Each structure stands twice: as C-alpha cells, then as structure tokens.
Chain A
C-alpha cells in the first residue's frame, strides 16, 4: 500500500488517461458521462413508473439517486475484472505496483460519479427538492462505496487473470445483484421477513444511505452505515490480500 502511494502520480495519470480515452472518437465526447445515465433513467422510469405503476412519488429522482450509486460500483467492478489482461503490455514490460490498475479504474468511476452529481442535483431541484445539510453526508458515503468497490475490483481483477470466465460470468452476476439491491424499488416494498436479509448486501448499505439523505431527507441509519463501512473495509483488505497473493505470476500469465 505504501508503494501505491509512491506511485500516486502514475495512478492519477492512468485515471486521467482512462477518462480521456473512454469517449475518444465519439462525437459527443465527454457529454456521454451525462447522457448515458439520463437515457438509462428514461428507460427505467418508463418501465417501472408508467408500465408497472411503482407507487413512489418522484420516482425518477428516487431511481436516479440509486442508479448513479449502482453504476459507480458496477461499471468499476466490470471494467477492473479485465484490466490486468487489457493492460498486459504494461504488466509484462515495466514494474509498478499492480494494484494501481484496478484502483485507477475505481478512481475513474468515482470521478465519473462526482461529475454526474452535477446533473443529479439540478434535476432534484427542478423536481422540487431543496438542498439540505444532510447532503454533507455525501463524501462519507461515497468513500464507503469506493472502498467496497476497490475491494471487489482488486479481487476480481486478480482472479480473472487465472480464470478468464469470470469476466463473462460477471455480466449476469451483476444483473442479479442489481435487482437484489434496492435501486428500482425501495426497502419498504420488500416483504418484512426478507428486509433484514437485503441489508446484508453491502452495496445496499451505500444505496440506502444515498436515498436516506437525498430522497427521504433523513439522516443515515447509523447501524446500517457502520455495518456498510465494516464490510467495505473487510472486503477491501480481503481484496488486497488476494491480489497480493496472485500478482506474482501476472507477467507470465497475461
């Protein structure tokens, strides 16, 4: 971890080049950071509120809050899983702490999330939400989700080098995970006997916390919040551990 700090300049430049090259060559360029969640939002809103009549007032706002939080996690995990293999030319040719690669993907994803807040907040205000002091919780929740995302990213990135199926399985796996996370529905809609079960999902802790402070205008639920932090840190340490064990043969396996 100390070495990752020494190489922070590299981490930062990889994050920037990731952001820069992501939309390179597309006509709308960086605007896609804003357009693609908006388009997803329209689709989900259409399906769940117009067709399926989900009874949540201001459903689009509710959905948008959860969707952005979910995207930060899911896109980073999906992209990290193949990152060692994609960057094999770096891995094979130069030395650097390999943790940098998945961490840079996570960094890019967090920055993307922060940028997308630039449309979430105006969107909320247009829908009649007023800014509140509770929004000051945001950095703490983003940090929690970033730690969790980094943990899973490190873990999957390392395993994928040896078991390339992971990248393909992950698509379906993440889709299931998405529906087990209260993004398109609220926790209160889950039958009571399962509700506690849903809270075990560490991604839920972050998503529910976003919804609490932004949508319900309530402080975070401390028990859930602390549980979320504890699990995130455990997953992160586990991810570092697994990555550290597996990274010695990366240069030969990719």
Chain B
C-alpha cells in the first residue's frame, strides 16, 4: 500500500486561531454581548500540504510566527485542523514545550513514570528502561529530587531522555534542544542520528540552520502560514537566510495581525516582537553602557556574505550616574557558534592597541574592521566586553544571533576556506 510509505501526510490543512480581544467567558457577558463578540481570526496555517516519508528527517524553518509550532501541534494532535486532513502512521513522541507532562512536586524518577504514562506506556515498560533513561539524562543525585528545583537544561535532559527511550516511530522536536549545554546537545544529536539509522521519522523545528544542513535530509520553509519552499536543506537554508535577513534589515519583518490577504500569523505574546532579536546588555548596573553593536559589511550593506570585509561598530558610553573615573578602557570581542564554540576572540590589549578612550558623545563610536570574513554560512553569537586595563568588567553585551553569514558557495562547518577542485595526474616514472 502506498499510504504506508508515509509517516505523516498533511493535506490541505488550514488552522485559524480566534484571538479574543475581550473575552466573554461568563454567562452575563455571553448574553449581553452575544451579537458583538470581540475577536479576530488569525490564520496560522493556510492550505499546507506536506508528506513525510517513513525514516525521513525533516527540518522546519521559518521566522517566529510562521506556523511551525502550530504544524507540529497539529501533527501531534494537540490541535485539530479547521480544514484538511492529517494522517499519522506510527507512535508519536513529542518534545514541544519544556516541562510538558511533568509534575513539579514529583521527583525525577516519578516524573519519568508520569511522562511515560502520558505517552501511553505501561509502568513495566518504563521500569525496564528506567536505568537507561537516568543514565542518559546524567542527572545523578538530582533524579531523586522534586523537579521544581531543576534548571531548564535539567528539565530538557529529562524530557529528551524519556522521549527517545520510548522508541518512538515519529519524533517531533520543537526548538527545545537549545537550552542544553554543548556536550549534552552533541549527545542528543548522536542519539537522533542513531534513531535516523533505525529508520525513525524525525521532524525538527530549529533556528540553527547549520544543524538543518548537517542533519536533515529535507528542509521545509514556512512563511506567512504557507510552505514557501521545500527540498534540499542546503538550498532551502540559503534562500531562507538571504530572504529573511534582507527583510529584517528592510524592516518588513514586523509581524502584523491583519494581513490584508487574510493570511495571518500565529499569535503568541512572547513572539509578537521584531523577529530579529537585538542583543542586549547582560547587566544594567555597570559603569559603562553599551548601547548597541552593529555588524555590517564595510560598505554599509547589512547582509554579510563569506569573504566580505566587515565593520563592527560599538556604541558605548559612560553611564550618567557612574562616578567612576574612566580615562581608558579595554574593548574585547568574541564570536561563538550557536553551540558555544569560541571561533574568534580579540581585545585591544592583545592587539597592542592598549587602552582606548571611551566615546564621550553619541557621535563617537568604537570601530573594529575585519578583513574578508572567513566564516562559513550560519548564525553566530557575538559578545562584546569593556573592561578596565586590569580586567575589571565595566560592561558586557551579548547578541545571540548578532552575526549572520551567508555562504553562497555552500561550505558548511565553521570556516570557509578558499579552495579549488581539480584533478591531478601522477607523473609517470618512466
């Protein structure tokens, strides 16, 4: 049967959310305002069709509010579509939100049983895998503690350990791996690769486009509630990044409720901001204030491609309320990958530039010019720090997606080396 080759078939699915402006939940209000219920419809998905083969690994890309999470929730049957049809063949295990299906008062072990039960597993099945789950989570003695004291990373460890241990036929993951530390993330990726080799189906929502390129065999780009592009991950990621960053700098990425073509965006309060997250200062009560850090091409174009000359502009000034005497400071810059690998670190002292004067007016700024960007395509974190000459921290600034490099030739990894392919002939000795 042809249908059995697919794990998930989504056909012509639409989902509209009703966003209540003023909710009439009580009887009185329902009776009084029945005629003028105050809500607006927002289209989260509009005529989306997607077939996922058994054993495929699919990466869902898209800016916040494009409908990715809604699609995962529809596949996992938390939400039901308004129109269209979704078929799912096989047992689904989903990691959609942190802490879903955990009881804060129960210990880690009790929560493993609870979480397993929530996936429809019998107690003895979970008991048989308990050891494996605890080992994988690396939670040690914490496993016997109530999980209300867990950090988000620890929650994620437990949730992931349970989700993969139940041997799901279809695994849905929504961007929660990001809270784990680098080592655990690597371990999760290994486990996912193992599931891949067992022909399990994986659907992954992530903003780590590098992971999509390395790990997925199909990428799907959702934009404004529709599938904009799907196919080879490298192609999709490249087009996605180019388009999104262009739009972000043009300011056309601002989410709107009433798109005139009746295609709305998924509205979640925490997401209704600019999609390009600005960096921010890590602390407000420091003597020096870093207003913002602007990274752009030396000619002023906001889109950076491999090999471009870059200009990093640091707007920093002494805080008005600071009494400190600052005659000279040391500025430093670090670039990290999304999984916290340091790529590049530099400061004015090590560059024998010594102390620099802090800008005294808004017209002045610290500028760092970097020649021909050697980074491979991807999104990098940028940290900027200002310290005194003795290393005393004065201000620090972090932009978790501060630097996006677009690599048209399509090298992946961290660096983009200059290269030339060719064929070499051995010179015959005779």
**Which residues of chain A have a CB within 8 Å of any CB of chain B?**
6-7, 9-10, 12-14, 17, 21, 24, 89-96, 163-165, 248-249, 251-252
Contacts and interface: CB of A to CB of B under 8 A. Distances in A.
A251 B97 CA distance: 14
B101 A17 contact: no
A94 B80 contact: no
Interface in B242-267: none
Contacts of A7: 117, 120
Contacts of B96: 93-94
A100 B123 CA distance: 17
B122 A94 contact: no
A17 B120 CA distance: 16
B114 A13 contact: yes
B78 A93 contact: yes
B101 A252 contact: no
B100 A165 contact: no
Given A17-B106, A252-B18, A252-B79, A95 B92 contact: yes
Given A248-B80, A252-B79, A89 B118 contact: no
B126 to A, nearest CB: 8
B187 interface: no
B367 interface: no
Contacts of A92: 78, 97
Nearest to B122: A9
Contacts of B92: 95
13 contacts: A10-B117, A10-B120, A13-B114, A89-B99, A90-B101, A92-B78, A94-B78, A94-B96, A95-B77, A95-B94, A164-B26, A252-B17, A252-B79
Interface in B52-99: 73, 76-80, 92, 94, 96-97, 99
A94 B79 CA distance: 10
A219 to B, nearest CB: 40
Contact of B103 (A17, A91, A248): A17
Interface in B96-124: 96-97, 99-101, 103, 105-106, 113-114, 116-118, 120-123
Contacts of B371: none
Interface string B154-184: 0000000000000000000000000000000
Provide the main secondary structure of the chain A interface. helix
Contact of A21 (B101, B105, B117): B105
B2 interface: no
A12 B18 CA distance: 34
Interface of B: 17-18, 25-27, 30, 73, 76-80, 92, 94, 96-97, 99-101, 103, 105-106, 113-114, 116-118, 120-123
Contacts of A248: 80
B102 to A, nearest CB: 9
Contact of A93 (B80, B97, B116, B122): B97
A90 B25 contact: no
A96 B26 contact: no
A89 B100 contact: yes
Contacts of B122: 9
A155 B103 CA distance: 26
Given A17-B114, A89-B100, A94-B101, A251 B79 contact: yes
A7 B101 CA distance: 14
Contacts of B80: 248-249
Contacts of A9: 116-117, 120-123
Nearest to A25: B105
Of B78, B97, B100, B121, chain A has the most CB atoms within 10 Å of the CB of B78
Contacts of A13: 113-114, 117, 123
Nearest to A163: B27
A228 B97 CA distance: 44
Given A89-B100, A94-B118, 5 more contacts: A6-B120, A90-B100, A92-B97, A95-B76, A163-B25
A17 to B, nearest CB: 6
Nearest to B77: A95
B358 to A, nearest CB: 48
A89 B97 CA distance: 10
A30 B118 CA distance: 25
A101 B300 CA distance: 58
Give the residue among A10, A14, A21, A164 with the most B Cβ atoms within 10 A: A10
Nearest to A161: B25
Given A6-B120, A252-B17, A252-B79, A93 B100 contact: yes
A165 B118 contact: no
